[in-house]
Amino acid sequence: METTMRSMTRAYDHDTARTATRSALIGALVLAATALLAGCAGATAGGAPVAEASDAVGAWGNPTGMTTGWVIEPSLNLAADGTLTGSDSCNRLHGSWSDDDGTIAFHDVVSPGMVCSPESPESFDTWLSGLASGTVDGDVLTILDVDGTEIGTLDRASDVDPATVPSGDAEAFFGTWGTADTEGEPSIVISADGTYNGSDGCNFFNGLWWIEADTLDFGFHSLTERGCLPGIDDWLNQHATATVDGDTITFFDRAGSEIGTLTRSE
């Protein structure tokens, strides 16, 4: 009887130890998985950390891309999710960014490689295309190249996360205006993601936009340069700003002069 009890006790102790070991292993795996998930929560898809509270979040430079006199300024939009968009004054920029303890790193930034106008080279200083990293000091973003040399600075235009822009104030502009996909007829599609595209009746254009009060500002845009048929009025390719009143959108050129209107089709 005593031998039987000792055997049962040893078996119980063995099962208890095995259960405790298994529980400890499970607990360790849970902790490891939690740590892994926490690490992933602070990273982009490419593995670069994104600090949602980073001082770099916001718009830098001139978000509309254009200033008086057709001098085109560079700009960057840095969203809290790590998305980067902007313009080097000639080409649009797309990529990602991360904040590593105050050092801003720019990742996989690409541009369409559009050739800038040779008639006005003074309008295109593309220094921002050499961005590699940066630092923030108050409302100034200093841009460095791959060698760590300062190549320029951008002033803060807004500290609002670009991913949350446009605001509800812009909703009246969203949609299709004019007669789309019709030769000789101007049209434009303004999207909620901050982009637009359209046709002046002959050539096609696309670009980025920004909302200021009740006015939509069109940033620098790309435009095809195919030959047009005689008689086509390509007034829409001079668009710079717009206002909306119900189902009518009115366009203005860079000088602030009205150039035409379109009615909403969608």
Q: Exposed, middle or buried: residue 137 (CB in 10 Å: 0-12, 13-18, 19+)?
A: exposed
**Predicted confidence (pLDDT) per residue in 72-97, tens digit:** 678 888 989 898 888 887 777 889 99
- Same-fold call for 58-163 versus 166-263: yes
- The string of pLDDT tens digits covering residues 45-77 is 344 445 556 899 988 987 554 443 344 678 888
pLDDT in tens, 192-222: 877 889 999 888 888 878 777 788 888 656 6
Segment (H or E) for 64:
none
Which residue ranges make up each domain of the chain? 1-41, 58-163, 166-263
What's the rounded mean pLDDT across residues 146-152?
96
Cα angle for residues 39, 44, 46 (degrees, 5° grid): 105
Rounded to an integer, the average pLDDT of 140-165 is: 89
pLDDT in tens, 16-44: 444 444 444 444 433 344 333 334 434 44
Over its C-alpha atoms, the chain yields an Rg (Å, rounded) of: 28
Which strands sit side by side in the sheet containing 215-223, from one edge to the other?
175-178, 187-190, 195-199, 204-212, 215-223, 241-245, 248-252, 258-263
2-15: pLDDT as tens digits: 444 444 444 444 44
- For the chain, percent of residues with pLDDT exceeding 70: 67
Fold annotation for 58-163: Lipocalin (2.40.128)
Report the mean per-residue pLDDT for the chain.
Answer: 75
Name the pLDDT band for 178 (thresholds 50, 70, 90): very high
Closest listed residue to residue 185, CA positions, set 201, 199, 205, 204: 201
Fold annotation for 166-263: Lipocalin (2.40.128)
What number of other Cβ atoms are within 10 A of residue 157's Cβ? 18
More confident of the two residues 111 and 185: 185
Please name the residues in contact with 133: beta carbons below 8 A apart, sequence gap of 6 or more: 103, 104, 105, 106, 143, 144, 148
- Whether 127 contacts 151, CB under 8 Å: yes
